Amino acid sequence: MAWTGKILRVDLAKGTCKDEPLRMDWAKQYLGQRGLGTKYLAEEIDPKVDPLAPGNKLIMATGPLTGTNASTAGRYSVITKGALTGAIACSNSGGFFGNEMKNAGYDMIIFEGRAPKPVYLYLNNGDAKLVDAAGFWGKSVWDTEEGIKAKHQDPLIRVASIGVAGEKGVLFACIVNDMHRAAGRSGVGAVMGSKNLKAVALRGTLGVKVRDAKAFMAAVAKGKQALAANAVTGQGLPKYGTQVLMNVINEVGALPTRNHRDSQFEGANKISAEAMAAKRPDGKSNLVTNAACFACTIACGRVSQIDRTHYTVAERPKYQVASGGLEYEAAWALGAATGVGDLDALTFANFVCNEQGIDPISFGATLGAAMELYEMGAITSKDTGGIELKFGDPKALTEMTELTGRGEGFGAILGLGSKRMCEKYGKPELSMAVKGQEFPAYDARGIQGMGLTYATSNRGACHLRSYTVSSEILGVPVKTDPLVTEGKAALVKAFQDATAAVDSAGICVFTTFAWTLDDIAPQIDGACEGNWTTAKLLEVGERVWNLERQFNMRAGFTAKDDMLPARLLKDAAKTGPAKGLVNQLGKMLPEYYQLRGWTPDGVPSNETLKRLAL
Amino acid sequence: MMMSLHIDPAKCTGCLQCELACSYDNEGVFNPSKSRIKVFNFHDEGRFVPYTCTQCAEAWCLQACPVDAISVDLKTGAKVVSDSLCVGCKVCTIACPFGTVNYNASTGKVLKCDLCGGDPECAKACPTQAITYVDANWTGLERMRTWAAKTDSGPRATH
């Protein structure tokens, strides 16, 4: 129950689609989605494989709660070896695609090999086939999604696809479903493109069942009440979205600005949630409405519309409609990281990121690095095709977004990500990344725990692996001081394990502003066999974390890769509450290894592996 | 008191909790494709609109049915399909001007909203009160109140 008990294995080289029973023994140990997908991947591929070679696999996995009416239960994840990082990648997306996979009768889909020519998978209630995608290759996510629905004469199909960026191997290309929800990070879209897989189109009408309906419905109702009553999930997120953070994080001096040279952005207010809601000269506001993913009772999603007279859209009606608006991470990367304070330019760049399937975090951060290289003369306008890459120039931002989305011109260089780009121009130290993946929107000098979070994240720098911002800034579940290192090792470990469990369940991590695992366990237990308790979920989370770590070590990563760029460790923050501070990773990391039950070299000890049945 | 489902699209976030509740109550599984209420996403306008049977008094579906399988629930006013009488001829789906009666190929019968016998699950499941179950004679009451609050009454009389 809750699990369908079935997976679809698609051999792209042979063109075959086969059903397989789900390994229920693994489901009991890894739950679903992130955990279970990682287990399958780790069992099936050589961790040393080139991420873009046919030997890599790409797994789309739902969790057991996906497709039920538990709040936010529409999530799915893409698990593969990341194109950007060479590490384990697991990118989580909302929208409506995950539910459709479940209703089509599958817990996950495993893609292996490489198709001889572009194809897409069409799956309708257990009937799966690979279809020639020649007519869609070279098209954007938006055109592909519309085109597939039109071709099958079915507006109810749900599509996840790559844009031109994924086809061209932009290393931070993502997979976009439902027009603007994305499995965003680590370059999962580049892996999909390397397989000649343009899209996955799903239609499911089979229904999702739960184990104990009465217990499940009671736990779900209680969970929804808690979300509605909580100030963050009940008021802040629906009203302002994640963008509620822009001014807050700027105030605490942790808004990385211009490639982390500064940690406060003078234009923060102009690109904030408040600015999105404010009336423009045209009498409308950037924000049209909020929107929910499947089954979500929070509804933090933004729907935005650009001023029709703005230079980005004045001649282009296609972009004058309402579409996916700025979330905090995207607004930060496209704005503060590049020094651009033009809200509509950022919104346009965000539309294009969705349209062509590129991760706005890695893109904006890489562009910020390129702007610094340009400023010091390492990159010239000869390299950029005549475009001046000046910090703060909205046209540099929007033109480069379009070029990168199509993998053209200097966009192809930006598409390498900041690590490879900065190496190419002889300044590797200017890449603000861990394990090749760019930082998101929190400066580790002003929020110390995030330094440890980034350094130890299994998929490279990421806020979603342990969002200690929640504790250090927002005070959830308890307030800790963002400027100190004491207690942060334990905090990071606790967040990492709990988040890994949540990411394996089929629900959104944003619920954890209001829920603890005590709220989640009864919902999972009501839906699934296996006596799911808080303790068991924490064990699953820790097991998943260690499995990911093992995969990375086998791929060639060591403790040396649990490292931050020198800028965060040596150059103190210049302004704000963290003025004079660097991130003190060295104080936290040994304690973290110890708490994890790892050796001083960051290797999981035999005892730890045995305890977790790994 | 006669009650009516009342839909305020401006409050809808498109989460589909109504579809989940409807399918679960009627079919015992979570399955939006078997829901009697459907949320439409007008993407380019940023609008979500839940839509279902309004239980119209004229009841073209009821009048069109050749086997009298659709009747009025006297308690709620709902037009209810009897599965044991329905022959799946789909004439009602043609008769309904709004498209809210639909054929279900897996059962060979038609589906439509029956107001859950007077306690509609969709309204209870809606997290934003976009769907409410209110006095059938005063479906406009909340909107009137909103506009009344905006009305400038000029200088207030002193007492």
| Mean pLDDT for the stretch of residues A241-245 | 97
| Mean pLDDT for the stretch of residues B117-130 | 97
Task: Tell me the three state secondary structure of residue A278.
Answer: coil
C-alpha torsion angle, residues A130, A132, A138, A142 (rounded to 10): -60
> What is the spatial distance between Cα A255 and Cα A574, in angstroms, rounded to a whole number?
12
Nearest-CB residue to B46 (from A205, A209, A288): A288
pLDDT at B151: 84
Question: Which residues in A lie closer than 8 A to residue B16 (C-beta atoms)?
Answer: 96, 294-295
- Please state, as a whole number, how many other Cβ atoms lie within 10 Å of the Cβ of residue A21: 8
Inter-chain touch A299–B13, beta carbons under 8 Å: yes
Give the single-character DSSP code of B156. Answer: P
Q: Cis (ω within 30 of 0) for the bond into A116?
A: no
Nearest-CB residue to B30 (from A69, A288, A289): A69
Nearest-CB residue to A299 (from B15, B27, B31): B15
Question: Which residues in A lie closer than 8 A to residue B27 (C-beta atoms)?
Answer: 207
Name the minimum distance, in Å, from the CA of B20 to any CA of chain A: 6
- Examine the pLDDT at A276 and tell me if it is beyond 80: yes
- pTM of the entire structure? 0.97
Inter-chain touch A208–B16, beta carbons under 8 Å: no
**Residue corresponding to tokens 């953070």:** A245
Question: Which residues in B lie closer than 8 A to residue A224 (C-beta atoms)?
Answer: 127
Contact A498, A538 (CB under 8 A): yes
A277 touches chain B (CB under 8 A): no
Mutate to test the interface with A, among B8, B16, B44, B129 (most CBs of A within 10 A): B16
> What is the spatial distance between Cα A302 and Cα B51, in angstroms, rounded to a whole number?
23
Nearest-CB residue to A103 (from B17, B24, B31): B31
List C-alpha distances in Å: A217 to A4, A220, A502, A523, B25: 19, 5, 19, 8, 12
**Residue corresponding to tokens 């680590």:** A186
Closest chain A residue to the Cα of B122, Cα to Cα: A69
- Examine the pLDDT at B156 and tell me if it is beyond 70: no
Name the minimum distance, in Å, from the CA of A472 to any CA of chain B: 30
Name the minimum distance, in Å, from the CA of B149 to any CA of chain A: 22
pLDDT at B1: 84
Q: What is the pLDDT of residues A57-100, one digit of tens each?
A: 999 999 999 999 999 999 999 999 999 999 999 999 999 999 99
A218 touches chain B (CB under 8 A): no
Half-sphere exposure of residue A243, counting CA atoms within 13 Å on the CB side? 32
Using alpha carbons, select from B100, B140, B133 the residue that is nearest to residue B118. Answer: B133
Write down how long chain A is: 614
Residue A567, Cα to own-chain centre: how many angstroms? 24
> What is the spatial distance between Cα A553 and Cα A549, in angstroms, rounded to a whole number?
6
Position A392: which residue type?
G
Kind plus residue range of the DSSP H or E element containing A301 = strand A301-304
Task: Tell me the three state secondary structure of residue A86.
Answer: coil
List C-alpha distances in Å: A65 to A93, A184, B20, B30: 14, 21, 13, 11
Name the minimum distance, in Å, from the CA of B18 to any CA of chain A: 9
Inter-chain touch B27–A299, beta carbons under 8 Å: no
A296 touches chain B (CB under 8 A): yes
- Examine the pLDDT at B152 and tell me if it is beyond 90: no
Which of the listed CATH numbers 3.40.1010.10, 3.40.50.10190, 3.20.20.70, 3.60.9.10 matches domain A6-203? 3.60.9.10
Inter-chain touch A294–B15, beta carbons under 8 Å: yes
> What is the spatial distance between Cα A592 and Cα A604, in angstroms, rounded to a whole number?
12
C-alpha angle A232/A233/A235, rounded to 5°? Answer: 70
> What is the spatial distance between Cα A603 and Cα B125, in angstroms, rounded to a whole number?
48
Inter-chain touch B15–A321, beta carbons under 8 Å: no
Question: Which residues in A lie closer than 8 A to residue B21 (C-beta atoms)?
Answer: 69
User: In this structure, what token pair is assigned to residue B123?
Assistant: 């309204």
User: In this structure, what token pair is assigned to residue A118?
Assistant: 């572009």
Nearest-CB residue to B43 (from A179, A208, A297): A179
Question: Which residues in B lie closer than 8 A to residue A288 (C-beta atoms)?
Answer: 45-46
Contact A381, A387 (CB under 8 A): yes
Q: What is the pLDDT of residues A408-441, one digit of tens each?
A: 999 999 999 999 999 999 999 999 999 999 999 9
Name the minimum distance, in Å, from the CA of A288 to any CA of chain B: 6
Inter-chain touch A204–B128, beta carbons under 8 Å: no
A206 touches chain B (CB under 8 A): yes
The correct answer on CATH 3.40.50.300 for the domain covering B3-150 is: no
List C-alpha distances in Å: A523 to A91, A214, B17, B26: 23, 11, 16, 21
> What is the spatial distance between Cα A487 and Cα A419, in angstroms, rounded to a whole number?
31
Q: How does the average pLDDT of chain B come out, rounded?
A: 94
Residues of chain B whose C-beta is under 8 A from some C-beta in A? 13-17, 20-21, 23-24, 27-34, 43-48, 125, 127-128
User: In this structure, what token pair is assigned to residue B24?
Assistant: 């679960």
Name the minimum distance, in Å, from the CA of B2 to any CA of chain A: 28
Question: Which residues in A lie closer than 8 A to residue B46 (C-beta atoms)?
Answer: 288-289, 291, 303, 305, 322
Kind plus residue range of the DSSP H or E element containing A164 = helix A164-167
- Examine the pLDDT at B158 and tell me if it is beyond 90: no
Contact A308, A316 (CB under 8 A): no
Contact A562, A602 (CB under 8 A): yes
Inter-chain touch A204–B33, beta carbons under 8 Å: yes
Please name the residues in contact with A103: beta carbons below 8 A apart, sequence gap of 6 or more: A67, A125, A204, A205, A206, A207, A208, B31, B32, B33
Name the minimum distance, in Å, from the CA of A451 to any CA of chain B: 35
- Sketch the domain layout of chain B as residue ranges: 3-150
User: In this structure, what token pair is assigned to residue A265?
Assistant: 């952005």
Name the minimum distance, in Å, from the CA of A101 to any CA of chain B: 12
Strand segments (E) across chain B: 3-7, 38-42, 47-51, 70-72, 79-81, 102-104, 109-111, 131-135
Kind plus residue range of the DSSP H or E element containing A289 = strand A287-291
Alpha helices, H only, A332-464: 343-356, 360-375, 394-405, 410-414, 417-424, 448-456
Question: Which residues in B lie closer than 8 A to residue A143 (C-beta atoms)?
Answer: none
Give the single-character DSSP code of A257. Answer: B
Task: Tell me the three state secondary structure of residue B2.
Answer: coil
User: In this structure, what token pair is assigned to residue A69?
Assistant: 């009416």
Please name the residues in contact with B152: beta carbons below 8 A apart, sequence gap of 6 or more: none
The alpha carbons of chain B give a radius of gyration, in whole angstroms, of 18
Q: What is the pLDDT of residues A471-513, one digit of tens each?
A: 999 999 999 999 999 999 999 999 999 999 999 999 999 999 9
- Examine the pLDDT at B157 and tell me if it is beyond 80: no
> What is the spatial distance between Cα A201 and Cα A207, in angstroms, rounded to a whole number?
18
Helix axis angle for A517-527 and A534-555, nearest 10°, is 90
Name the minimum distance, in Å, from the CA of A296 to any CA of chain B: 5
- Examine the pLDDT at A179 and tell me if it is beyond 80: yes
> What is the spatial distance between Cα B125 and Cα B112, in angstroms, rounded to a whole number?
18
Size of interface A-B (CB pairs under 8 A): 80
Position A491: which residue type?
L
Closest chain A residue to the Cα of B126, Cα to Cα: A297
- Examine the pLDDT at B159 and tell me if it is beyond 60: no
For domain A241-251+257-431, give the CATH number. Answer: 1.10.569.10
Question: Which residues in B lie closer than 8 A to residue A299 (C-beta atoms)?
Answer: 13, 15, 127-128
pLDDT at B154: 66
A448-611 sits in which CATH class?
Answer: mainly alpha
Name the minimum distance, in Å, from the CA of B156 to any CA of chain A: 31
Nearest-CB residue to A69 (from B17, B45, B128): B17
- Sketch the domain layout of chain A as residue ranges: 6-203, 241-251+257-431, 448-611
pLDDT at A534: 98
A321 touches chain B (CB under 8 A): yes
Whether A448-611 and A6-203 are alike in CATH topology: the answer is no
List C-alpha distances in Å: A454 to A246, A364, A422, A438, B27: 20, 18, 19, 10, 46
Contact A157, A193 (CB under 8 A): no
Q: What is the pLDDT of residues B48-90, one digit of tens each?
A: 999 999 999 999 999 999 999 999 999 999 999 999 999 999 9
Task: Tell me the three state secondary structure of residue A445.
Answer: coil
Nearest-CB residue to B21 (from A69, A209, A228): A69
**Residue corresponding to tokens 């189109």:** A201
Interface ipTM: 0.96
- Examine the pLDDT at A192 and tell me if it is beyond 70: yes
Closest chain A residue to the Cα of B31, Cα to Cα: A207
pLDDT at A411: 98
> What is the spatial distance between Cα A346 and Cα A344, in angstroms, rounded to a whole number?
5
